[in-house]
Structure 1
Amino acid sequence: MKEVLIGSILSALSTGLGALPILFIQHLLTHKWRDTLLAFTAGVMTAAATMSLIPESLQTGGLLPLTIGLLLGTIALTLLERNIPHINLEHQKTGIQFDEKAFLIVAAITLHNIPEGLSVGVSYASDVDNTGNLIALAIGLQNAPEGLLVALFLVQQKMNRFKAFIIATLTGTVEIVAGLLGFYLTSFFDSLVSYGLAFAAGAMLYIIYKELIPESHGDGNEQTSTHSFIIGVLSMILLINLF
């Protein structure tokens, strides 16, 4: 219990850690650096999903739970994407008026963090050692650039930098509740572990292909982003082998 709480908190607060530079270097962070960070994160999450979550789901439940869980994870993210207002934060060149629409966007980002929190909680419920820590790390790395992009967006809407930092940090806190929920559900119902791991993998793969990779290739930085993606994959593989 203590471990999942710590892991959920750290992965959630990574959003605030990523937003921290907004207080100091708003005009120094180029699109190229943001694309590089997003691609690296995509690589880390790809390795976590394909080399940790999917194999463990297969081992604990077999092909059917893996297939069902992957599809459910993909469907959940698809429904969120279709029914919740979303903005391409990375490539928003011109600001929009900061009104209720901007608050809807912040709310949408917050809700998009729920499956990520579930991923962390489910991973800690797995019997395989250090799976939870690895997934919490992967999600945390994904949250960091997301927090920065949210803070940049809010500052572009003429919001005070400190307030933008606080709001960006708060968007990640929903992952703590979602993490505890995922952990308790799979802990009390052992048969859900395989489905939960596959659900987490499906959600992560959706985020990677739908959000992170396109975002990292939108400003002519495809080659740099590709190299960063591969480095991210190798980095996570190294961590998996070490732990």
Structure 2
Amino acid sequence: MGLEQLITMGPIALALCASLFTWFMTALGAALVFFFKDINQKVLNGMLGFASGVMIAASFFSLLAPAVDMAEELNMTAWIVVAIGFLAGGIFLWISDHTIPHMHFQDKTHHEEGIHTKLKRSILLVFSITLHNIPEGLAVGVAFGALAQHASVPELMAAFTVALGIGIQNFPEGAAVSIPLRKEGLSRTKSFLYGQASGLVEPISAVIGAFLVTAVRPILPYALAFAAGAMIYVVTEELIPESQTGGHEATHFSTMGCIVGFVIMMILDVAFG
């Protein structure tokens, strides 16, 4: 099937297929629990740093820059549109962070955040990564939703680039759920099932995002900026702090991982987007 034929599938169907790929990458990362019971802190720092770099680059090159272009095409004041959308995304995640029960990592320990609950610690850890995956799914959905406005091969490639980048960074996130769960005492099978389940929210949020921007096209630039703001919130609130553990030497792996992740996502977006 050629790219022109793929476009005829429609934005929502394409968003669903692409987000199933990002979920698969989460599951692939979670499957590492069958081979490892623990993971070296330096390696984990590098993986989390890499995921951070990919998300930062995707936020600008795949979301904010297109949001500015689309706002100008719609005769909107671009900087106002992008600022409103970006702030709304960050505020949405901040509210979610303070209401949805989950585990927050800080100073080598996990503590509960959100509304108090009696749910098991392992479930709260899954909720933590699930919360991260909501903006990632939205990013995929609104990227494919843009095809409703510009149904072209370049736009399709740009959307695929977003899905590819998020899929790549989902691999370490899957491992970051399943392996700690194994350390908590769960079986390898349960750790894997919980780990991959954290990515199931992405197809759901991707379809919602694609549907909204196709149904109400003027909200597309706002939606792109919203997804960017939500992703940057996740990076600064969770991923980067969690990657800065294990001493000064170990944090170098996080820093270099972030740089490499940013460069790879930038290359993908500029070369193929």
TM (norm. structure 2) is 0.81
- From 134, 150, 166, the counterpart of 1:114: 134
**CA deviation after TM superposition for structure 1 residue 89, in Å:** 5.2
Gaps of 5+ in 1: none
CA separation of 1:108/1:230 partners in 2, compared to 1, >3 Å: closer, same or farther?
closer
Instruction: State how far apart, in whole Å, the 1-side matches of 2:172 and 2:106 are.
Output: 10
Give me the whole-angstrom Cα distance separating, in 1, the residues matched to 2:211 and 2:128. Answer: 25
**Counterpart-to-counterpart distance in 1, 2:106 and 2:175:** 10
The code of the aligned residue for 2:65 comes to P
Is residue 192 from structure 1 mapped to residue 192 from structure 2 by the alignment?
A: no
Alpha-carbon distance, 1:163 to partner: 1.4
Q: Does 1:241 align with 2:257?
A: no
Residues 1:214 and 2:241 are matched in the alignment = yes
Shift of 1:146: 1.9
User: 2: distance between equivalents of 1:95 and 1:112?
Assistant: 17
CA apart distance, 1:114: 2.1
Counterpart of 1:43?
Answer: 53
Distance 2:44 2:240 in 1: 12
Question: Which deviations, in whole Å up to 9, do the C-alpha atoms of 1:47-97 show, x marking residues without a partner?
Answer: 11112211110111112211111011000111111112332458756999x
Matched, 1:17 2:46: no
Q: Which residue of 2 aligns with 1:143?
A: 170
Residue 81 (structure 1) aligned with residue 85 (structure 2): no
Of 52, 67, 85, the match for 1:69: 85
Residue 153 in 1 paired to residue 180 in 2? yes
Q: Secondary structure at the match of 1:26?
A: coil
Which structure has the larger Rg? 2
Q: Is the 8 A contact 1:44 1:233 kept in 2?
A: yes
SS of the residue corresponding to residue 177 of structure 2 reads: helix
Report the Cα offset of residue 125 of structure 1. 1.2
1:231 is the counterpart of 2:251: no
**Helix, strand or coil for the counterpart of 1:191?**
helix
- Taking the aligned partners of 1:70 and 1:94, their CA distance within structure 2 comes to 28
Secondary structure of 1:87's counterpart equals strand
- SS at structure 1 position matched to 2:26: helix
CA distance in 1, matches of 2:179, 2:143: 31
Letter in 2 for 1:55: A
Match of 2:5 in 1: none
- In 2, distance between residues paired with 1:148 and 1:21? 6
Tell me, in whole angstroms, the C-alpha distance in 1 between the residues paired with 2:236 and 2:253: 17
Contact 2:82/2:222 (8 A) holds in 1: yes
C-alpha distance in 2, partners of 1:141/1:224? 18
Letter of the 2:141 counterpart? G
User: Which residue type is aligned with residue 267 of structure 2?
Assistant: L
Q: 2:109 and 2:128 mapped to 1: Cα distance?
A: 20
Per-residue deviation, residues 88-131 of structure 1 (Å, max 9, x unmatched)? 458756999xx733224433433442222111101111233423
How far apart, CA to CA, are the structure 2 residues paired with 1:240 and 1:149?
A: 26
Work out the percentage of aligned pairs sharing the same amino acid: 35
Aligned positions, number: 240
Change (3 A) 1:152 1:90: farther
What is the CA-CA distance between 1:30 and the residue it aligns to? 0.2
8 Å CA contact retained: 1:38, 1:216: yes
User: Contact 1:22–1:152 (CA<8 Å) still a contact in 2?
Assistant: yes
Q: CA deviation at 1:184?
A: 0.8
